[in-house]
Chains A and B, each alone.
Chain A
Amino acid sequence: MIGYAVRRLIVAIPTLLIIIALAFFMMRIAPGGPFDQERSLPAQIEQNLRAAYHLDEPVWQQFGRYLGGLLRGDFGPSFKYRDFSVTELIAAGFPVSLQIGAAAILFAVLVGGGLGALAAVHQNRTPDHAAMAVATVGLALPNFVVAPLLTLCLGVYLDLLPVGGWGSPAQAVLPIATLALPQIATIARLARAGLVEVLRADYIRTARAKGLPGWRVLARHALYPAVVPVVSYLGPAIAAVITGSVVVETIFGIPGVGRYFVQGALNRDYTLVMGVVVLYAGLIIALNLVVDLVYGWLDPRVRYD
């Protein structure tokens, strides 16, 4: 298993390099540059800026400079946020994204798993229909609809929770709920499907026939195998929740890295986008590896050769 993990990590290096190269050159191909803003700059001043950021060098030389910096752990200066390096911005934003994403996933696993189990046990009866109706709604409503609705109702009308900002636990409630909602829906459906299938298996019937109580059959024999599809979904889901919270971050004014990705791309903040790309790529590679390793722990039939 360790050998497998090491092999996977070695393969990750060229993967990461290809991603970096693709992202780097795609950013440069995109028309416009970091200094083409609503407020156009006089030619001389733009020249000064380009020189300060080495944009006057040939692209391959810039790429080499970037890779060199990366090897030293230096993501370079941000083109837009001139008082911060990309490393500093990510160091400030990533913990926030991580906290909010982790909380949302945890919440989604608990609630979604619970709903899914409830639905599976009561298959084709009222609790099942109710849980699946909730799940469908959660999946159908995009977060740019959910978030403003939540802030308007709970923040403005009822004045129960803060509308935005970051710092107090109360400010984290609505963003976490918004982020978790579609994940709850998906996890509930996956958990239900997995459990329904397992509950029909022969060994469950055997366990029941032996007179084990229902909860024990569920907890001891059915849950582990039923959870495998959920786990395989969790890898990409965690990556998506941590990285794909642009909408949530913008609406709730949360200082995470998700916004840097979109804003950076729109501003042609080359280094900031590259920094976030490297972060995301690394994250996705790592999470996929973790998920593959967890399979083996959950299901002894999985082999790593």
Chain B
Amino acid sequence: MPHLPCHARLVAAVTVTVMLALPAAAEPVLRRGNDGEAESLDPHKVAGAWEDRIIGDLFEGLLADDPAARPIPGQASSWTVSDDGLVYTFTLRPDARWSDGRPVTAGDFVYAFRRLLAPATAAKYASLLFTIAGAEAFNSGTVTDPEAVAARARGPRTLEVRLAHPAPYFLDQLTHMTAYPVPRHVVDAHGDDWTKPGNIVTNGPYRLVDWQPQRAVTLTRNDAHYAAAEVAIATVVYLPIEDRTEALKRFRADEIDTYPQFPARQYRWLRANLPDETRVAPYLGIYYYPINIHRPPFDRREVRRALALAIDREIITERITGVGEVPATSFVPPGTLNYRPAFEPALGWPAERRLAKARRLLAAAGYGPETPLRFVLRYNTSENHRQVAIAIAAMWKQALGVEVELFNSEVTVHYNALQHQDFEVARAAWIADYNDAQNFLFLAESSSGKLNYPRYANPDYDRLMDQAALTQDPAARGELLHQAEAILMHDMPYIPIYYYVSRNLVSTRIKGWVDNIEDRHRSRWLSLE
């Protein structure tokens, strides 16, 4: 808020202070701890869960999240899908309005999609809407005409979107912040400053009052929103607290009502002392170790499978992570919509059988106690990753006589190395953006480039993925994806370790909180006792 004069800043500071000091005043205030500072409030420029929390309160897409993060009608009241699954026609609600009272039009969505995809916007998440025909070409600059993006306004309240291929997850994608509209009249008037308090206009259940970097983002109910009457909490304050231990203290001191990432090491204490406030739920994320299949001997499947088999996942989830994470024997987590993960049965065998098989496989590749396999295991600096790496290295050493050297580096260096294939075995993770198996499995497609850290390329896999992309029937499509995953698990370029869980602190004063697999909890559904 540095552009405001001093007295305005003071007033804002006092306002925030007063609001923080009076939790039980007439108008309820929800104080949500956030595990990061928003990089931006522009839905097209961000990628983090901590921004999604705020932006998801401020804006609303064609579809919105219900309390369990399932898609429900949002700015669009209804839609039709053509028989070939390619053309979606949305009808906007007549009372869809921006917070300044202007109607939200189909043109706003067309503008927003084009803006997201324009190379000049440099949107980190533009690829999410490559589902739309022409989007990828426009974003990559091979086509410069924004008309190429197949989203058209057929009247002020009718939006027609043509997809590049059938995608049953498209509706779920529309609840993601990349697909939110932005107010063209405000962006045109203020340029990059359009998200500043005083300028910004939003179409979600809340509007922005104030944003002080590293301190607080304050929202208030947007009375122009069609559901404003049902929004119970008038004011929401997001407080960025990166230090999780301190966040827990502030929660205990009743300075915040929710926090999205309690410190895992305090879990035992929390379960004993704050059992009703501690919420652990399955989450759409996988912790895995990619293997560089282009470096001998990792080009041999037996070596990769031996390493995968020799890990005792239960020890990792029970003794190290310990917050209820689930040992992973597939790459796609269970709970993914319309999908049955291709669990690799061998990873769940009893220890003796598993280890015997691992030793046989490694011996077949020419490695044993006399000729030990040696390599470097990379992880990004973090206590949790370190402990997991030490445990797994010890398991490999004990079961297979493998000599592992651990190498850690900060997160930027780590992922830079992964993208440039500068690793042998490494730590990585993937959190889904929408609830669909494709959002995990696309990583292993040969066309995914740097995101596919091992540069795994299997024509059979690619063919099944392409086939699935052209299949409309959810069951048939799920089966194709399942077959693809089975190939992936057999080839084992990614060793699954565990499925993530979400771990929220939620005050018992809050009603309407529903644990869900996407860990999205819009403030509009919450109320305070």
Say whether A163 contacts B253, CB under 8 Å.
yes
CA distance A286 to B250 in the complex (A): 38
Chain B residue nearest in CB terms to A253 = B241
The smallest C-beta distance from B114 to any residue of chain A, in angstroms, reads 14
A164 contacts B39, C-beta separation under 8 Å: no
For residue A88, which residues in chain B have a CB less than 8 angstroms away from its CB?
Answer: 2-3
In the complex, whether B143 has a CB less than 8 A from a CB of chain A is no
Q: Mark B124-139, 1 if CB is under 8 A from A, else 0.
A: 1011000000000001
B20: which of A31, A49, A87, A167 is its contact (CB, 8 Å)?
A167
Check B410–A266 contact: CB distance below 8 A: yes
Report yes or no: B450 in contact with A43, Cβ–Cβ below 8 A: yes
Question: How far, in Å, is A270 (CB) from chain B's closest CB?
Answer: 12
Contacts of B243 in A (CB 8 A): 250-251, 253
Binary contact readout B374-402 vs A (1 if CB under 8 angstroms, 0 otherwise): 00000010000000000000000000000
**0/1 string, A5-43, CB within 8 A of B gives 1:** 000000000000000000000000011111111111111
Q: Which partner residue on chain A sits nearest B419 by CB separation?
A: A40
Q: Could you tell me the distance between the alpha carbons of A48 and B450 in the complex, rounded to whole angstroms?
A: 15
A66: Cβ under 8 A from any B Cβ: no
Q: How large is the interface on A (under 10, 10 to 19, 20 to 34, 35 or more residues)?
A: 35 or more
The yes or no answer to B47 lying at the interface (CB within 8 A) is yes
A165 touches which of B3, B20, B47 (Cβ 8 Å): B20
A89 to B412 Cα, complex, angstroms? 22
Chain B residues lying within 8 Å of A92, measured Cβ to Cβ, are 1-2, 212-214
Q: Which residue of B lies closest to A164 (CB)?
A: B250
Known A-B contacts A40-B451, A255-B214, A255-B215; A33 and B412 likewise in contact (beta carbons under 8 Å): yes
Q: State whether the Cβ of B491 lies closer than 8 Å to any Cβ in chain A.
A: no
A265 to chain B, nearest CB (A): 9
**Bound complex: CA A235 to CA B409 (Å):** 35
Taking CB atoms, residues of chain A closer than 8 Å to B451 are 40, 42
- The residue of chain B having its C-beta at the shortest distance from the C-beta of A255 within the complex is B214
Of the candidate stretches B105-113, B115-123, B324-332, B473-481, the one touching chain A is: B115-123
Q: A residues 258-274 with Cβ under 8 Å of B?
A: 259, 266-268
**Which one of A43, A164, A166, A250 contacts B449 once the chains associate, using CB atoms below 8 Å?**
A43
Judge whether A156 and B252 touch: CB under 8 Å.
yes
The answer to whether A162 touches B2, judged by C-beta atoms less than 8 angstroms apart, is no
B140 to chain A minimum Cβ distance, whole angstroms, is: 4
| B196 on the A face (CB < 8 A) | yes
Which B46-60 residues sit within 8 Å CB-CB of chain A? 46-47
CA of A89 to CA of B215, assembled, Å: 12
B404 in contact (CB, < 8 A): no
Distance A165 CA – B239 CA, assembled complex (angstroms):
8
Per-position contact with B for A85-105: 1 when CB-CB < 8 Å, else 0? 001110111000000000000
Asked if residues A268 and B120 are in contact (CB atoms below 8 Å), the reply is: no
- Taking CB atoms, residues of chain B closer than 8 Å to A81 are 37, 39-40, 213
Tell me whether A151 is interfacial, beta carbon within 8 Å. Answer: yes
Interface status of B510 (Cβ within 8 A of chain A): no
Nearest CB of chain A from residue B163's CB, rounded to whole Å: 19
B416 contacts chain A at the CB level, 8 A cutoff: yes
Most chain B beta-carbon neighbours within 10 Å: one of A35, A91, A155, A165: A165
Residues of B near A40 (CB, < 8 A) are 415, 418-419, 450-451
Contact of B242 among A41, A87, A250 (CB under 8 A): A250
Residue A304 at the chain B interface, CB threshold 8 Å: no
B305 to chain A minimum Cβ distance, whole angstroms, is 26
Report the Cα distance A254→B241, complex, angstroms: 9
Q: Is B272 an interface residue (CB 8 A)?
A: no
Q: Is B172 an interface residue (CB 8 A)?
A: no
CB of B81 within 8 A of chain A? no
A253 adjacent to B253 (CB under 8 Å): no
**At the interface, yes or no: A84 with Cβ under 8 Å from chain B?**
yes
Contact call A36/B213, Cβ cutoff below 8 A: no
Task: Closest B residue to A84 by CB, please name it.
Answer: B213
Assess whether B356 is interfacial by the CB under 8 Å rule.
no
Chain A, residue nearest B44 (CB):
A82
Residue in chain B with minimal CB distance to A168: B17
Are A167's CB and B16's CB within 8 A?
yes
- Write out the residue numbers on chain B whose beta carbons fall within 8 Å of the beta carbon of A52: 120, 122
Per-residue CB contact flags for chain A residues 147-184 toward chain B (1 = under 8 Å, else 0) read 01001100110010011111110000000000000000
| A126, CB-defined interface residue at 8 Å | no
Contacts of B250 in A (CB 8 A): 163-165, 253
Chain B residue with Cβ nearest A44 = B140
The docked-state distance in angstroms from the alpha carbon of A253 to that of B20 is: 14
Chain B CB count within 10 A is highest, among A44, A53, A159, for A44
Question: Does the CB pair B2–A148 fall under 8 Å?
Answer: no
Q: Kindly identify which residue among A31, A44, A93 contacts B213, using a CB–CB cutoff of 8 Å.
A: A93
Q: Which residues from chain B contact A212 at a C-beta distance below 8 Å?
A: none
Would A93 and B214 count as touching, CB distance under 8 A?
yes
Which residues of chain A come closer than 8 Å to B39, judged between CB atoms?
80-83
**B21 interface residue per 8 A CB criterion:** yes
Q: How far is the CA of A302 from the CA of B21 in the complex (A)?
A: 52
Query: Within 8 Å of chain A (Cβ to Cβ): is B341?
Result: no
Q: Mark B1-38, 1 if CB is under 8 A from A, else 0.
A: 11100000000011011001100000000000000011
A-contact bits for B182-221, CB 8 A (1 contact / 0 none): 0000000000100110000000000000001111000000
Contacts of A84 in B (CB 8 A): 2, 213
CA distance A168 to B19 in the complex (A): 11
Instruction: Tell me which of B21, B124, B192, B212 contacts A41 (CB under 8 A).
Output: B124
B41 with A164: CB separation less than 8 A: no
In the bound assembly, the distance between CA atoms of A33 and B416 in angstroms comes to: 8
Which residues on the A side are within 8 Å of B448 (C-beta)? 42
Which of B121, B126, B213 has the most C-beta atoms of chain A within 10 angstroms of its own C-beta? B213
Question: Bound complex: CA of A279 vs CA of B242, how far in Å?
Answer: 24
A51 at the interface (CB under 8 A from B): yes
Residues of A within 8 A of B240 (CB): 253
Known A-B contacts A81-B37, A163-B255, A168-B17; A151 and B249 likewise in contact (beta carbons under 8 Å): yes
A260 → chain B closest CB, angstroms: 8
B42 near A38 with CB under 8 A, answer no
Judged by a CB distance under 8 angstroms, whether B245 is at the interface is yes
Across the interface, do A83 and B42 meet the contact criterion of CB distance under 8 Å? yes
Complex: A162 Cα to B417 Cα, angstroms: 42
A31, A159, A253, A255 — which one has the most chain B CB atoms within 10 A of its CB? A253
Q: Mark B45-81, 1 if CB is under 8 A from A, else 0.
A: 1110000000000000000000000000000000000
The reply to whether A32 and B2 form a contact with Cβ atoms under 8 Å apart is no
| Residues of chain A within 8 A of B40, CB atoms compared | 81-83
User: B429 near A: Cβ within 8 Å?
Assistant: yes
B-chain residues with CB within 8 Å of residue A80 when the two chains form the complex: 39
A57 vs B68: C-alpha distance in the bound complex, in angstroms?
A: 46
> How many Å from the CB of A193 to the closest CB on chain B?
37
Evaluate contact between B412 and A266: CB separation under 8 angstroms: yes
- In the bound complex, what is the Cα–Cα distance between A283 and B139 (angstroms)? 44
B42 engages A82 (CB within 8 Å): yes
Name the distance in Å between A294's Cβ and chain B's nearest Cβ.
Answer: 29
Report Cα–Cα, A151/B252, bound state, in Å.
11
Which B residues contact A (CB, under 8 angstroms)?
A: 1-3, 13-14, 16-17, 20-21, 37-42, 45-47, 119-124, 126-127, 139-141, 192, 195-196, 212-215, 239-243, 245-246, 249-250, 252-253, 255, 380, 409-419, 429, 448-451
Interface pairs A-B: 10 shortest CB-CB:
A32-B412, A255-B214, A167-B17, A52-B122, A255-B215, A88-B2, A82-B40, A91-B2, A32-B416, A36-B416
- 13 other A-B residue contacts (CB within 8 Å) besides A87-B2, A255-B214: A40-B450, A45-B123, A82-B40, A84-B2, A84-B213, A148-B245, A148-B249, A166-B215, A167-B14, A250-B246, A251-B246, A253-B215, A255-B212
